[in-house]
Structure 1
Amino acid sequence: MSFDGFTIANVTHDLNKYLIGGRISKIAQPEKDELLFTIKCPDRSQLRLIISANASLPLIYITDEKKQSPLTAPNFCMLLRKHIQNGKILKITQPDMERVIIFEIEHLDEMGDLKTKQLIVEIMGKHSNIIFADMDNNIIDSIKHVSANMSSVREVLPGRTYFIPKTVEKFNPLLAKKEDFFREIFSKNMKLSKCLYSTYTGISPVVAEEILYRSLIDPDAYPEILKDYEKEQFYNTFCQVMDIVKDSTFTPVIVYDGKKPVEYAAIKLNMYHDLNIVEYDNISTVLKDYYKQKEVVTRIRQKSVDLRKITSTAYDRARKKLSLQEKQLKDTEKRDKYRIYGELINTYGYDVKPQSTKMEALNYYTNENITIPLDKDLTPHENSVRYFNKYNKLKRTFEALSLQIENTRTEIEHLESISICLDIAENEEDLVEIKEELTEYGYINKKRGEKKAKIKSSPFHYISSDGFDIFIGKNNYQNDILTFKNGTGNDWWFHAKKIPGSHVLVKTRDGNLPDKTFEEAARLAAYYSKARENAKVEVDYLQIKNVKKPNGAKPGFVVYYTNYSMTAEPDISGIKQI
């Protein structure tokens, strides 16, 4: 989610807690749209504050990380150093639940007189900006200049007057009274969640849905269907959530689906009760962790774009080839008809008259009379030979196509498994082996003189609740190594039933496992498979001594004939990862 008014309120509360009275000792501009302040706090500690007006990822949070700055500071950075370096932070405010934070900073001017300036941070998606102004709201400069050609709503240029743009009339939710709430919300003809975030400033769709969830009301419901007690319940819950902001009793959280961060907020998101909700001490840590992990996921997706495209193209080609082969195979189904025609002509053709175009005969396979078309220019024997030739040709085609279809289906399964490997890759090292596999099987042309890449990727490693080591292959090469090199006869092996996915190996000395470990290993096998989005997944499990690899089989492909099965949820929350 993007920054909303609740997140800004939480950030503002934390900044007031730590930075009020602090002095700005250093100002850097690591990126063209990003500032890094080093602040000496009243308790003599030192904190860093990141402020980014990046259009795709605007942020503001306290951090301990350092960033490399350019040798020559940009003009905006030099201006801030001139005016507010060594300045004292007097006040930090958020006006009317807007996505805006205003710093009031006291400093000495060139004449040695005390002056106060404003640093205004707007966290508004692609319209984000950092604006430096005096106390009369006259803009001195900004990190991004916005001319009239760029925006018809507001210019952000030196000498212009600063104001918060209001393109839509919204109300401050902290000041909402009951009669106003009922009038504004329940008079609209739209879904309740949209009513909420389109009426009040600072409420995002996620927070709106959370308020409705706490009210036990469907967020997709329309106002007119609510009963009076539900309207009261809705308003009371709305007030309770607003009290969180008024009292600064925030509970910053990140919601995880497995290891993947899917949402964050300044309040607890009870509506995600089926996922892993992790509470944090402060919103800065939430923002840092969430966007860092999001950045990792995004970077890996970008790094794997070419591999995904190659895999997807090969997969689509294989599917088309399979469709054509199956259609051709269907055409060979009439081969036995031609064989029977030939046999019946040999049996009953002795009394066929010359120039006949057909022949009536008893089919001794079905005990029914059939009509056999004849070429009038051929003798019965020649007609029989013609049908046997058609039969033999179709038989050869059937045998060849059957083998080709089997190979094509194997290729499709192989490409599906590679696609799963790309989905679970966590870093660049994980992609190296996948690229090697695609190269080995001819999907990527190997450049002349190119050396084989060094493999640094390792399997996933989990510990079950009972203390057993569980390993999961990240790709097909790792699957083979886990199953046929790292596993021993009594270890247990898990895999999603008839679905592409990772091999899961549970190490054990005597072959005995507690039920809880069986269940957790099955959940991992379900999660690291193509069916991870399903509510339930059937998982096969057996001792590894019963898993075999056919000669010449592709990486990750195995066979087994004696196994147990269980149904598992693809949910790995609560399973400890090393």
Structure 2
Amino acid sequence: MSFDGLFTHAMVKELNETLSGGRIMKIHQPYANEVFLVVRSNRKNYPVLLSAHPSFARAQISRIKYTNPQTAPNFAMMLRKHLEGSRLIRVEQVENDRIIRFVTSGRDELGDEEQTTLILEMMGRHSNLFLVNEATQQIIDLIKHVPADQNRVRTLMPGGTYVLPPKQDVINPFSSLDGLANLILDNPKVDGLAKEIQHHFQGFARDSAYELATVLQESGNALTMTQDWLNKFNQPKPQLITTEKNIAFAPFDWLTLTGKTVTFDTLSEMLDAYFSEKSEHDRVQQQATIVLRTVRNELKKNKNKIKKQRAELENADHADEFRIKGELLTTYMSQIKRGTTQIELPNYYDNNEMMTIPLSNQLGPSQNAQKYFTKYNKLKNSVKYLNSQIDLAQKEVDYFETLLAQIDIASPQDIAEIREELTQEGYMRVQNKKKQKTKVSQPEKFYASDGTLIEVGKNNLQNERLSMKTANKSDIWLHTKDIPGSHVIIHSSEPSDETLYEGAMLAAYFSKARDSANVPVDYLPVRRLRKPNGSKPGFVIFEGQTTIAVTPDSQVIQKLRQNN
């Protein structure tokens, strides 16, 4: 389902029960539209994600790791000033809308009690996060500043008065179900009833309205059935459902979603599993704009270079024609008159068929012949050079296609390392000479079913260190065959067949062939790897490998990750 008002109702209940009474210990803003509050409650730390992302706006307890920027954004600094050390009094929803209020109590700079509220509005591209003085309703700051000429309905700048978004003429279903009976009588079909439910009641997205309409098609008292259905949001049984088309989430058994189901203890854990790849991929794309542009430009440049050089190489295939013309002119030189622009001579290489040979009227017979020999020699000599240049350009293409595949599976930290690599290789300029060199992060760790450690490099710098420095010579190295992907190390000299299969699954999943079937994966002991002198980071050569085929499965990967 969508993160609509109904799901917000369930999430607010979970957050309020878990966090209310806790203290806000730390505040981070790792991404432009997202803030993390570390709330300590009942002797546990809970990282609370408040996202005003235009596509993934939500509030949840999130265990997904993040990397903070070296300098905190202004909004994060303002939140720290007003909220660090404050007590979270309660978490509440505004009616059944997609608006959540985090009411806090703390002390200002003078030591006086101060109540401030974080208000998260989850409204698609209009999503925003406000820090508001609870007493005066003045906006202290907000994560997205919107000038008055872009929003004339209400003020969305610091210093203005916080006003709720314009209210629609709808009913909160948790307060009243007035009019439901008439809706059912007037709309006997599911589609029509779903539309009317969405227009009549607050907080229904299209999919949840369709779900309720489907439930009401069963026989029974409509009001009782609806009330029972709404009560399930107070006692959710979170689940991810893998359908034929995609993966969806639901707070409890959902009639309109069928497929393989995985259950979770909390809504937040479910959302972490659902958004882990979606939101991470989006965050990477935001941070990788310059890196992607550089990689794509270099890729395009080298592909064009190969195309041009292959055309030149094709011309070199006709070099013998120039040699033959030169030899014919030399043989029949006595028949050539100076000032002639062309001549027909019998070609003794082709059964004396007549060949027309263009001539320069500015050159003598011997000079015309020498001109053809010169062209012949130039083309023949260019073949070796062109082949070497095509080979170099192809290696560049392979390198940048590998980087594109790595960006596609990268975390935000990996982007910084890919940028560092491109800078070291001379493809990007050093932004700040005084800036410290990026520290290479650790490969991601997984554990096979039998407990064997498996490590996966996510970029070339990680791959280089993992395969050539940290892995034991007897460990098993895996990589997709002739496909850009990650280096995978099984930390065992004799892994079981199941562990070998799981390692191959990881290699296929963290590659360009993630969505393919029967992906070939090479494996061999690390001792057989070789790194040519002067080669790029992460590049190795090997022989004596064994190849197996696997089909990537995200659920298997998640299981291996949870074994950690």
TM-score between the two structures when normalised by the length of structure 1: 0.65
The reply on whether 1:554 has 2:536 as its aligned counterpart is yes
Which residue identity is paired with 2:534? Answer: G
CA distance in 2, matches of 1:235, 1:500: 57
Which residue identity is paired with 2:316? Answer: T
CA distance in 2, matches of 1:291, 1:300: 13
CA distance in 2, matches of 1:406, 1:362: 37
Counterpart residue number, 1:411? 396
**Residues 1:390 and 1:45: Cα distance change in structure 2 (over 3 Å):** closer
Which residue identity is paired with 1:399? Answer: K
Counterpart residue number, 1:513? 495
Counterpart residue number, 1:99? 98
**Residues 1:518 and 1:207: Cα distance change in structure 2 (over 3 Å):** farther
Q: Are the equivalent residues in 1 in contact too, given 2:417–2:440 (CA < 8 A)? A: no
Cα-to-partner distance string for 1:105-163 (whole Å, 9 max, x where unaligned): xxxxxxxxxxxxx999865453668899x9xxxx9846599999887778999999989
**Residues 1:4 and 1:517: Cα distance change in structure 2 (over 3 Å):** same
Which residue identity is paired with 1:398? Answer: V
Counterpart residue number, 1:226? none
Which residue identity is paired with 1:252? Answer: P
Which residue identity is paired with 2:400? Answer: L
Cα-to-partner distance string for 1:328-361 (whole Å, 9 max, x where unaligned): 33333322322333345456x3674544823243
For residue 551 of structure 1, report the CA deviation from its aligned partner. Answer: 3.7
Which residue identity is paired with 1:388? Answer: F
Q: How many residues align?
A: 511
1:573 to 555, 558, 562: 558
1:392 to 363, 372, 377: 377
2:486 to 493, 502, 507: 502
For residue 367 of structure 1, report the CA deviation from its aligned partner. Answer: 5.5
Counterpart residue number, 1:250? 236
CA distance in 2, matches of 1:460, 1:322: 36
Counterpart residue number, 1:339? 323
CA distance in 2, matches of 1:504, 1:496: 10
Q: Map 1:4-403 to 2 at 5 A.
A: 4-11=4-11, 13-14=13-14, 95=95, 97-99=96-98, 123-125=122-124, 126=126, 141=137, 143=139, 165-166=167-168, 175=177, 176-177=180-181, 179-180=184-185, 182-183=187-188, 185-186=190-191, 201-204=202-205, 207=208, 211=211, 243-247=228-232, 248-253=234-239, 265-267=250-252, 273=259, 277=262, 279-281=264-266, 283=267, 301-346=285-330, 349=332, 352=335, 354=337, 355=340, 357-362=342-347, 364=349, 369=353, 371-375=355-359, 377=361, 381-403=366-388
**Residues 1:255 and 1:45: Cα distance change in structure 2 (over 3 Å):** same
CA distance in 1, matches of 2:540, 2:27: 55
The reply on whether 1:477 has 2:461 as its aligned counterpart is yes
**Residues 1:380 and 1:197: Cα distance change in structure 2 (over 3 Å):** farther
Cα-to-partner distance string for 1:13-46 (whole Å, 9 max, x where unaligned): 4478689xx99999x9999x99999999xxx999
For residue 204 of structure 1, report the CA deviation from its aligned partner. Answer: 3.0
Cα-to-partner distance string for 1:43-84 (whole Å, 9 max, x where unaligned): x999999897958586666899xx98769869xxxxxx9xxx
- Structure 2 SS opposite 1:416: helix
Q: Are the equivalent residues in 2 in contact too, given 1:9–1:94 (CA < 8 A)? A: no
CA distance in 2, matches of 1:533, 1:554: 27
**Residues 1:236 and 1:437: Cα distance change in structure 2 (over 3 Å):** farther
Q: Are the equivalent residues in 2 in contact too, given 1:154–1:165 (CA < 8 A)? A: no
- Structure 1 SS opposite 2:558: coil
CA distance in 1, matches of 2:409, 2:549: 22
Which stretches in structure 1 are left out of the alignment for 5+ residues? 75-80, 105-117, 216-229
Counterpart residue number, 2:112? none
Q: Are the equivalent residues in 2 in contact too, given 1:185–1:195 (CA < 8 A)? A: no
Q: Map 1:414-425 to 2 at 5 A.
A: 414-425=399-410
CA distance in 1, matches of 2:468, 2:393: 25
Which residue identity is paired with 1:575? Answer: L
For residue 516 of structure 1, report the CA deviation from its aligned partner. Answer: 1.9
**Residues 1:490 and 1:279: Cα distance change in structure 2 (over 3 Å):** same
For residue 562 of structure 1, report the CA deviation from its aligned partner. Answer: 3.9
- Structure 2 SS opposite 1:573: helix
- Structure 1 SS opposite 2:521: strand
Which residue identity is paired with 1:513? Answer: P
**Residues 1:414 and 1:208: Cα distance change in structure 2 (over 3 Å):** farther
The reply on whether 1:458 has 2:457 as its aligned counterpart is no
Cα-to-partner distance string for 1:268-325 (whole Å, 9 max, x where unaligned): 6795957x945133x4666689889987766555444433333333333333333333
CA distance in 2, matches of 1:312, 1:413: 12
2:427 to 436, 443, 462: 443
Q: Are the equivalent residues in 2 in contact too, given 1:536–1:569 (CA < 8 A)? A: yes
**Residues 1:241 and 1:520: Cα distance change in structure 2 (over 3 Å):** farther
For residue 4 of structure 1, report the CA deviation from its aligned partner. Answer: 0.5
Counterpart residue number, 2:106? none
Cα-to-partner distance string for 1:478-524 (whole Å, 9 max, x where unaligned): 32333344445554332122222112222333xx4333222212221
- Structure 2 SS opposite 1:499: coil
CA distance in 2, matches of 1:29, 1:548: 46
CA distance in 1, matches of 2:334, 2:306: 46
Cα RMSD (Å): 6.0
Give percent identity, aligned residues only.
26
Which residue identity is paired with 2:238? Answer: P
- Structure 1 SS opposite 2:547: strand
CA distance in 1, matches of 2:258, 2:324: 66
For residue 568 of structure 1, report the CA deviation from its aligned partner. Answer: 2.0
For residue 10 of structure 1, report the CA deviation from its aligned partner. Answer: 0.9
- Structure 2 SS opposite 1:307: helix
Q: Are the equivalent residues in 1 in contact too, given 2:5–2:204 (CA < 8 A)? A: yes
**Residues 1:161 and 1:202: Cα distance change in structure 2 (over 3 Å):** closer
Q: Are the equivalent residues in 2 in contact too, given 1:50–1:61 (CA < 8 A)? A: yes
CA distance in 2, matches of 1:549, 1:499: 18
Q: Are the equivalent residues in 1 in contact too, given 2:49–2:61 (CA < 8 A)? A: no
For residue 457 of structure 1, report the CA deviation from its aligned partner. Answer: 1.5
For residue 398 of structure 1, report the CA deviation from its aligned partner. Answer: 2.8
For residue 407 of structure 1, report the CA deviation from its aligned partner. Answer: 0.9
- Structure 2 SS opposite 1:542: strand
Q: Are the equivalent residues in 2 in contact too, given 1:9–1:245 (CA < 8 A)? A: no
